[in-house]
Amino acid sequence: MNDYLCKKIEMAKISINLKEGTVKKQSDIIIGIDLGTTNSLVAYIKEGNPVAVKGKNNKNTLVPSIIHFGKENQIIVGESAKEMLVQEPEKTIYSVKRLMGKSFNDLAQFQNYFGYQVIDEDEEKLVKIKVAHKYFTPIELSAEILKELKLRIEEELNAEVFKAVITVPAYFNDTQRQATRDAGKLAGLNVLRIVNEPTAASLAYGIGKEMDEVVAVYDLGGGTFDISILEIKDGIFEVLSTNGDTFLGGDDFDRAIIDFWIKKSSLIEENLIDNKEFNQKIRLEAERAKKYLSNHKQFSTTINNIDFSITQEEFNTIIDPIIQSTITICEKALKDANLEKKQIDKIIMVGGSTRSSRVKEKVTQFFEKEVYDKLNPDEVVALGAAIQADILAGNQKDILLLDITPLSLGIETIGGLMDVIIPRNSKVPSRAGRNYTTSIDGQTNLKVSIFQGERDLVENNRKLGEFILKGIPPMPAGIPKIEIHFIIDADGILKVKAAETRSGVEQEIEIRSQYGLSEEEMALMLLESIKNAESDMNKRALLEAKVEAKNIILAANKFLKQNQSILNKEEIQQTQILTLQLKAVVEGNSKDDINEAMRQLNEYTHPLAHKAMDATIAQAMKGKKI
């Protein structure tokens, strides 16, 4: 072979920005993003370790999840936007994560929470936010935060990135996850995976690599509290339960300090409390105090010539009720998971607010176990996301890929019905099986058609493939034992196996396009399944009745043939009449008529079947062959 043919040519990918005239490298790195309610950050694996990325002129890895619309509607994200929160609340958007995938109806009771305009164009539809005569969806706004993070890491790597893993709370539903994916897409990121925040936090602590365990992830952020109980088995993370309070967090600590100061200080006049500037200052100072008290005994400051101070002890006393409510929620989560405190192997601290030493103290006290807090609690989710990204990139072979199936997988059964074998949102890798049999006497081939989707009838779902199980030895209907197994491996590839266990006949098919649907198609299919649930159910019931009726007719005919000598004339005639009546309604469209005719036939033939059985047994007792 010619030498030159063997040489591997390293081709650097580059992209040229025509507008700026810059040339940029393209990086294959998959980044990990924690898109938080209060703060967001981006991380990646640098020389084998996950690191969170700091801004260019910024020491901080956290980007406040705040978007400000400036004079010419130019968009500012992060620390500078946070400064505008009090000055221009109507043009400064915070907590946009709370709006992801929500309709106005979902938010009705929290209307006062938002300082900006949440629009109720249509109560059923997803919300929009109005800023300076323009409407934005929460997806677009989240995309702005993601763009900022993308920029941050591109500056660090001096290369463009395109692929990301983004974390979401474990309780996020499909719409919210989809919205998060879409935000990524808008920001120019291909979101390879949406990962649960508690899963990411566990990964950051290296949990799941060596042994099976049960982990509680206690996440107290700025405005939300989440507790998740996870079970990790063979590298698969399963959420046993989640609970929380979407309006409980570090902001409440700040508010408690403000209330404490206002109550204590006789110098604050009424009008000061309504003063915007004073409010902003006292809020920022309260947060500063809180952070300072995490490792100091006392904090003092002066605002508008008024002295304020608070000791750690005082702080602990005022936040105790808030911490207590998180503990009550932990109890509920344990109960939902059917677990006792002592069955929890590890407790992981997540969220900036767990830096308050009192929180750690109380959580340790409750679980009667030391908590895991070595990693930065406000970075741990992003670090875990970076690890997940690295696994996806194929750099960490000892960990399984974690994912869930976006749509149900199943096979077609008689009447065109979808029989789900692996339900939607099942964890990957996954396997499940079910037994089937034949519906016709002497059937030697069985077609196995595999579908994906949520509708009851396969015609509305997406066909993934089919194969024929051939060579089943001829047997009466219902006798062959056919096992169908679905196996999704860690790469999301579905294998379907069918085997007739009495004869050992086997067949297998591999389906690679498990995720071949575009996200739009997937969202549409889910939507359709919700919209059509009722009519599907009716159709399904009718089809099921028809299938059952046809089986009963076959069985009745067989019964008459086999038992002619045992039954009297009237019994034979009446059975024939009732069978004909059932035959007549089976082709119609009334499941009630079919069910009624089936009931009559069943009721009449039931004692006859007993009679036939008794006769057979009696004959057998006589030593005759049956």
Q: Which residues are catalytic?
A: 34, 97, 197, 219
Cβ nearer to Mg ion, comparing 36 with 50: 36
Q: Give the C-alpha separation, 375 to 349, whole Å.
A: 9
Q: Give the C-alpha separation, 315 to 35, whole Å.
A: 29
CA distances from 44 to 56, 152, 202, 235, 451 (A): 16, 12, 16, 21, 37
Q: Give the C-alpha separation, 384 to 399, whole Å.
A: 13
CA distances from 331 to 168, 200, 327, 358, 546 (A): 23, 23, 6, 18, 49
x/- letters, 358..387, toward ligand ADP (CB under 6 A):
--------------------x---------
Q: Which amino acid makes up residue 400?
A: L
Cβ nearer to ligand ADP, comparing 39 with 430: 39
Cβ nearer to ligand ADP, comparing 352 with 410: 352
Least distance in angstroms from the C-beta of 389 to Mg ion? 17
Cβ nearer to ligand ADP, comparing 354 with 438: 354
Give the H/E segment covering residue 313: helix 312-336
CA distances from 226 to 99, 110, 347, 595, 613 (A): 17, 19, 13, 49, 61
Interacting positions 246-265 with ligand ADP (CB under 6 A): 249-251
Among 352, 384, 410, 453, binds ligand ADP (CB under 6 A): 352
Among 29, 33, 38, 143, binds ligand ADP (CB under 6 A): 38
Interacting positions 291-330 with ligand ADP (CB under 6 A): 291, 294
State yes or no: residue 68 binds ligand ADP (CB under 6 A): no
- Count interface residues toward ligand ADP (CB under 6 A): 22
Least distance in angstroms from the C-beta of 197 to ligand ADP? 8
Cβ nearer to Mg ion, comparing 164 with 421: 164
Contact predicate 180/194, CB 8 Å: yes
- Binding segment (CB under 6 A) for ligand ADP, from list 111-119, 313-321, 345-353, 603-611: 345-353
Token representation of residue 504: 């050992």
Residue 352 contacts which entry, Mg ion, ligand ADP, none (Cβ below 5-8 A, type-dependent): ligand ADP
Torsion of CA 108, 112, 115, 121, to 10 degrees: 30
- Binding segment (CB under 5 A) for Mg ion, from list 9-17, 56-64, 143-151, 216-224: 216-224
State yes or no: residue 169 binds Mg ion (CB under 5 A): no
State yes or no: residue 36 binds Mg ion (CB under 5 A): yes
Residue 544 contacts which entry, ligand ADP, Mg ion, none (Cβ below 5-8 A, type-dependent): none
Provide the CB-side half-sphere exposure for 229 (13 A, CA): 22
State yes or no: residue 198 binds Mg ion (CB under 5 A): no
Residue 222 contacts which entry, Mg ion, ligand ADP, none (Cβ below 5-8 A, type-dependent): ligand ADP
Cα Rg of the chain, angstroms: 32
Among 353, 438, 461, 529, binds ligand ADP (CB under 6 A): 353
Residue 452 contacts which entry, ligand ADP, Mg ion, none (Cβ below 5-8 A, type-dependent): none
State yes or no: residue 244 binds Mg ion (CB under 5 A): no
Question: Of 82, 34, 79, 84, which is closest to residue 55 (Cα–Cα)?
Answer: 79
Q: Give the C-alpha separation, 180 to 140, whole Å.
A: 10
State yes or no: residue 287 binds ligand ADP (CB under 6 A): yes
Omega before 474 within 30 of 0, i.e. cis: no
State yes or no: residue 351 binds ligand ADP (CB under 6 A): yes
Question: Of 421, 403, 408, which is closest to residue 491 (Cα–Cα)?
Answer: 403
Footprint of ligand ADP (CB under 6 A): 36-39, 62, 221-224, 249-251, 287, 290-291, 294, 351-353, 355-356, 378
Footprint of Mg ion (CB under 5 A): 36, 221
